[in-house]
Amino acid sequence: MAKKEVKKIFITRMIPDEGIKMLKKERGLKIEIYERDKKIPRRELLKRVKGVDIILSILTEKMDAEVMDAAGPQLKMIANYAVGFNNIDLEAAKERGITVSNAPGPEIVESVAEHTIALIMALLHRVVETDEYARKGKYKGWGPMLWMGTDLIGKKLGLIGTGKIGMGVARRLHDGFGIEILYHDLHKNKALDKMGAKYRTKSQLLKEADIVSLHVPLLDSTRHLIDASALKKMKKTAYLINTSRGPIVHEAALARALRSKQIAGAGIDVYEHEPKITKSLTKLPNVILTPHTASATIETRQAISRVAAANIIAFVNKKKLPNKVS
C-alpha cells in the first residue's frame, strides 16, 4: 500500500477542540495552530502559512492573494471556520486552484435566532438599563412609573431576509408569542405565507414594523441597506436588530437616529468596521451592543469546529465536500 502523502494544515487561531480532535485522528495530517485566542498578527500569518497545503481560517483573518502566494503553490484549500466567507478573496482562490469551504449547520441557525430574540426582549423590557440602575444602588423601591418598557405581544415583526435564521426567528415569535410577521426578500416565501406572514416591499415594511430584524448576506446590493433614508421611514417607536453582517447598516446614521430618538432603540451584534464600533453608539442608552456573539454557545461553536474539520477530511480523501463555496 502506497504511503499516504502528509498534508500540512495551519489553523489561524485556537478553535473549540472537537474539530481539532477529528483532524488529529486522520492519518497523514500535520497540524499547526496559532494557539492564542486573539487575531494572529499579519506578519506572523504570512510567515506561518509558508509551505502549508490547507489553511483553516477564522472570519477575522483576511485570506487574500498575498496570503495565498505566501503559502505557495501547494496551497489547495482554505476551510473557513464560519458560515460567512467575505474574508476570503474567492477570485484569487479560483485563479490559484484553491478550494474554499465554509461551515454552516443547524446549530448556528438556532443560536443566532435565539440571540436575536434575546436582543428584542432585552430592548423592549429595558433589561440592560435596569440592570445597571440596580447595580449602581439607585433602586430605592417599587413605583408604578419606574422604568416602563413595552410588551412584545401585539407588535409587528418585520424580517428583511428570510433564510434559515430569519425563519427561525419568525417561527419562534409567531408560534411562541403569536405576533404578526411582515417580511421582505427577493422572492416570496411559501413557508412564511402558510404561517400567515405578509409580504411587503422594503419601504412598506420599514413604515409598518415595530421591530425590524435583518437576516441578509453581505453583498454589494445589501451594503448600507439600512441607511439614513431607511431609518427615516421607521416608526419612532420601532426597534432595529442586526445579527447578520455589520456593513448592512450605516452605523453613523444609526447613531444619529438613536441619539435624536428618530427610532426607539437597536440591538446590534455585528459592526460596520468590526471590531471597531462607532464611538457615539457606545454612549447611547437605547442600544444594546454585543461583540459578535450571536453564535457564541458551546454547542454551536463546537459544531462549527466539526463541520470545518469534516470539510478538510473530505478534501484530503478526495471526497465531495459537504460545504464547498468555490
Summary count for the chain: helices (H), strands (E): 13, 12
What grid cell was written down for 55? 489553511
CA–CA distance, 68 with 245 (Å, rounded to integer): 25
- The cell numbers describing 135, all together, are 447595580
Do the bridges between strand 156-160 and strand 54-58 make them parallel or antiparallel, or are there none, so unpaired?
A: unpaired
Examine the residue annotation and report whether 27 is marked as an active-site residue of this protein: no
The active-site residue, picked from 125, 174, 259, 292, is 292
Q: Where are the extended beta strands (E) located within 162-238?
A: 180-184, 198-199, 211-214
Decide if 259 is catalytic.
no
- Catalytic residue, chosen from 200, 245, 301, 306, is 245
CB-side exposure of 169: number of CA atoms within 13 Å? 33
Supply 116's cell numbers. Answer: 436575536
User: Is residue 245 annotated as part of the catalytic site, yes or no?
Assistant: yes
What is the helix (H) or strand (E) element at residue 45, kind and residue range?
Answer: helix 42-48
- DSSP assignments along 70-135, one per residue: HH-TT--EEEEESS--TTB-HHHHHHTT-EEE----HHHHHHHHHHHHHHHHHHHTTHHHHHHHHH
What are the grid coordinates assigned to 159, written together? 424580517
Write the CB contacts of 55 (distance below 8 Å, at least 6 apart in sequence): 9, 10, 12, 49, 63, 67, 71, 75, 77, 78, 79
> Catalytic residues, which ones?
245, 274, 292
